[in-house]
Amino acid sequence: MFSLKNIFNNLLTENRVEFLKNKFAGEGKSLTEKEFNSLLSIDPTTNKEFLQWIIREYLKLEDEEKKRFIREDKDIIKNDLAIYQKVKSKIPVEKRDINKYSFAEFSAFITPQIFYSIDKFKKGLAYATIQNKGQETEEFWITKSGRILSDDDLMENYKR
């Protein structure tokens, strides 16, 4: 059942995505529809809070770098963003603003901030453990695509 909060969040997300799509994607614009959809798939958050940053940083790349990014690096950024989302409240405030980072700077920043291990994937899921430097350990389920699942998601979508 949808709550008013869920409906409102869905509308905001749809509006954010539609606004960015209209601004950046289509004929005569910075991105093709295919590029936009690829970039949209990178953002692991349900409200697509990182999409504008992803687009901005992607547009800074040279043409060859863009091809390599879509082909090789997008999954790395998606995974880094999923982990960042999970631990960002434990990162010092002055270092949390993702807009301060390029793709390379972000990956270089987030990797040493955490220690994580992922158990073997079974049925597309793995149990992961993250420890932020000097902080408590967090445990969660993650899909092969990098989506971190809440307990509710796990119970609803992955019943055994």
Residue 128 belongs to a domain? no
Residue 93 belongs to a domain? yes
Residue 156 belongs to a domain? no
Nearest to 31, CA basis, from 130, 11, 13, 39:
39
Residue 136 belongs to a domain? no
Residue 160 belongs to a domain? no
Tokens encoding 120: 């073997």
Model confidence, pTM: 0.67
Residue 10 belongs to a domain? yes
Q: Is 134 left (phi over 0), alpha (psi -120 to 50) or beta?
A: left
Count of structural domains within the chain: 1
Question: Going along 25-132, which residue ranges are E strands?
Answer: 114-118, 125-132
For every one of its 160 residues, what pLDDT tens digit does the chain have, with 9 covering 90 and above? 456 555 545 555 678 889 899 999 989 999 999 999 999 999 998 889 999 999 999 999 999 999 999 988 898 899 889 888 877 877 778 888 999 999 989 888 876 655 555 555 566 666 666 655 555 666 767 676 666 776 666 666 655 4
Tokens encoding 87: 């631990």
Residue 140 belongs to a domain? no
Q: In terms of residue numbers, what domain contains 66? A: 4-113
